[in-house]
Amino acid sequence: MANLTPLVRIVDDDPTICDSQSFFLQLAGWQTVTYQDPVTFLERDDWDRPGCIILDVRMPSLSGLEVQQELNKRGVDLPIIFLSAHGDIEMAMNCVEQGAFNFLVKPPIPEKLKDLVEKAIKLNKSQRKIKKETEELQKLFSQLTSTEQMVARQVAKGLTNKMIGEVLDMSERTVQSHRSKVFAKLDVGNAVELFQFLSDMDNSSNL
């Protein structure tokens, strides 16, 4: 079974920074792992574990932005907190524009870092929960035949069986049969619940 305990990944070529941040965050109750080489981080980390990444902007082998771009390509959803020197603010802002959670100037204020880590992990866990729920809804919806899916969409609009029959060119009795199957397969009791089911599935897919 996958380890669902949140993990804070610290990626910085400076061992002193890695050790100090890791020590502080462990005192705050978080599990941490440090990487002084971003390439090793990309090769070895377990993306399935929730948490976040504390990522240095400037490193010898790969920049923080290059690491971020690679993570985006792989579809890794872990929030990134960038650390930057004063002269790297513009670069750090570019990272934020690419989807980073936030950035801090080195050396980060410990309490500020702790606060951002807590918020980032909370966000990651929330997003993953929504994703899991969406996948479950999509799995249920995929059990419907293509015709049942079309009927479901029309029922959710509040149309009567007669109106749906006219739209889909089928008899009212056939529509009623499909409607009953839709309700049973999706475990909903009426058109309002069906509307909510489809809204949750469609809206969550766009997050």
Cα dihedral value 129, 131, 133, 139, nearest 10: -150
CB distance 178 to 151 below 8 Å: yes
Where does a domain end: 69, 99, 128?
Answer: 128
Q: What is the CATH number of the domain that holds 147?
A: 1.10.10.10
Number of domains in the chain: 2
Is this model's pTM higher than 0.85 or not?
A: no
In this structure, the answer to whether residues 149 and 181 fall within a common structural domain is yes
Which of 180-183's residues contact partners 24+ apart within 8 Å by CB, and which partners? 181/144, 181/148, 182/144, 182/148, 182/151, 182/152, 182/155
CB distance 55 to 82 below 8 Å: yes
Residue 192 is assigned to a structural domain of this protein: yes
In this structure, the answer to whether residues 121 and 148 fall within a common structural domain is no
Residue 100 is assigned to a structural domain of this protein: yes
In this structure, the answer to whether residues 74 and 97 fall within a common structural domain is yes
pLDDT tens for each residue of the chain, 207 residues long: 456 899 999 999 999 999 999 999 999 999 999 999 999 999 999 999 999 999 998 888 898 889 999 999 999 999 999 988 765 667 767 777 777 888 888 888 899 999 999 999 999 999 999 888 888 999 999 999 999 999 999 999 989 999 999 999 999 999 999 999 999 999 999 999 999 999 888 875 554
In this structure, the answer to whether residues 89 and 37 fall within a common structural domain is yes
Q: What is the pLDDT of residue 207?
A: 47
CB distance 9 to 33 below 8 Å: yes
CB distance 156 to 105 below 8 Å: no
Q: What is the pLDDT of residue 173?
A: 93
Q: Which residues pair with 39 in a beta bridge?
A: none
Round to whole Å and give the CA distance between 62 and 205.
Answer: 32
